[in-house]
Amino acid sequence: MVLTLTPRGLYCEAGDFFIDPWRPVPRALITHGHADHARWGMGRYLATDIAAPVLRHRLGDVTLDTVRYGETRRIGGAQVSFHPAGHVPGSAQIRVAVGGEIWVVSGDYKTRADALSTPFEPVRCHAFITECTFGLPVFSWQEEARVAAEINAWWAGNAAAGQFSLLGAYSLGKAQRILSLLDPAIGPILTHGAVENTNAVLRAQGLCLPETVRVHPALKAADHPGALVLAPPSALGSSWARRFRPGTTGFASGWMRLRGVRRRRGVDRGFVVSDHADWEGLNSAIAATGAETVYATHGYTEIFARWLAGQGYDAHVLQTEFTGESLDEAEPEPEAEAEAESEAEGT
């Protein structure tokens, strides 16, 4: 076994390191910056150079070493390399080779390209530890251009009716992806502090995002008629959002594929935008690895593992503490921090 599951996380004995551990460990390899994968308290961190700025922004002053995609590092008896996962900028799959046996930890991944993240690359391996957040045949995503057209039409329609468009999206990854889809000719784009802070980090490392206006306490909504307001989902129902009236709400998530979930959220519109692979994406990615053994982690693990077993894989469930694009109220990023931030801004 190249990797084993321990109470602190996925462990590589040969290299004496953990991948995305959920308890403090001396040495952690991090696939990407979402809070369920990159936690505070590790002795040393290793991540891609592209993921590093966000990690520093979120974790503060930590000991962080970086690596480029495809570059091989030797750690103890293991050879380690990071490969694009297409999930958020800098996100990686981590390949671990020990004595000729190759394992890959997918982290979170998306197989379709977007404008910001380095596109997913399949990595051949013997064992593949895959997420399966959307591992059911009911999940299939539309072409990026179609979703962009839907969102822009919604925004333009609201603007023409004199309404603000409040769109909920997680502040790391999803929000910037939405920004890349928006047509700035429709109107101004306002951002919640949590979103704008991440924007600033990504812009500083050279990512190209459209012009945005941070929502300050003194900002007058009336000065920005027809604006699209991009905020973390938790901010939409809060007092923070109240100044944008009259307004219509939307939420961008893979879960919006399901009407029931959208209705429970109580938003007017759901846009099916996910940073995870859909059913087809998961299956094609797994096939491309050539792996014989597949471990399904966060998501519909039992169902997905049973399906894979039926397809001839040696498939298992791996019980981790990752949450993926969570359906429950707990979100895969520090929303509490976002709230505190909006409080601090005096809203």
CA-nearest of 241, 248, 237 to 270 is 248
**What does each C-alpha distance from 89 to 20, 120, 148, 211, 220 come to in angstroms?**
17, 11, 19, 19, 32
Which phi and psi angles does 254 have, rounded to 5°? -60, -30
Min dist CB 255 to another protein, Å, is: 9
- Show the binding pattern over residues 10-29: x = contacts another protein (CB under 8 A), - = does not: --------------------
Q: Binders of another protein among 295-314, rule CB under 8 A?
A: 300, 303, 306-307, 310
Interface with another protein includes 149 (CB under 8 A)?
Answer: no
Min dist CB 279 to another protein, Å, is: 9
Residue type, 262: R
196-201-186 Cα angle (round to 5): 40
Interface with another protein includes 317 (CB under 8 A)?
Answer: no
Interface with another protein includes 267 (CB under 8 A)?
Answer: yes
Nearer to another protein, 50 or 236 (CB): 236
Min dist CB 263 to another protein, Å, is: 4
CA dist., res. 36 & res. 323, Å (int): 6
Min dist CB 208 to another protein, Å, is: 32
Interface with another protein includes 177 (CB under 8 A)?
Answer: no
Min dist CB 236 to another protein, Å, is: 13
CA dist., res. 189 & res. 16, Å (int): 46
- Show the binding pattern over residues 104-143: x = contacts another protein (CB under 8 A), - = does not: --------------------------------xxxxx---
**What does each C-alpha distance from 272 to 52, 259, 262 come to in angstroms?**
28, 11, 10
Min dist CB 170 to another protein, Å, is: 19
Which phi and psi angles does 203 have, rounded to 5°? -65, -40
Min dist CB 330 to another protein, Å, is: 9
Interacting residue with another protein among 61, 211, 223, 328 (CB under 8 A): 328
- The H-assigned helical ranges of the chain are 52-59, 144-160, 174-181, 193-204, 233-236, 259-265, 279-289, 301-310, 335-344
Q: Which stretch binds another protein (CB under 8 A): 103-111, 177-185, 195-203, 262-270?
A: 262-270
Interacting residue with another protein among 24, 157, 266, 290 (CB under 8 A): 266
Nearer to another protein, 223 or 329 (CB): 329
Q: Which stretch binds another protein (CB under 8 A): 105-113, 120-128, 265-273, 318-326?
A: 265-273
Cis bond leading into 210, ω under 30°? no
Nearer to another protein, 22 or 300 (CB): 300
Interface with another protein includes 257 (CB under 8 A)?
Answer: yes
| Bridge partners of residue 320, in order along the sequence | none
Q: What phi-psi label fits residue 266: left (phi over 0), alpha (psi between -120 and 50 degrees) or beta?
A: left
The answer to whether 188 touches 253, Cβ cutoff 8 Å, is: no
The answer to whether 101 touches 3, Cβ cutoff 8 Å, is: no
Min dist CB 227 to another protein, Å, is: 20
Interacting residue with another protein among 99, 162, 223, 259 (CB under 8 A): 259
CA dist., res. 118 & res. 15, Å (int): 27
Min dist CB 293 to another protein, Å, is: 21
Site residues, another protein (CB under 8 A):
136-140, 257-261, 263-264, 266-269, 300, 303, 306-307, 310, 327-329
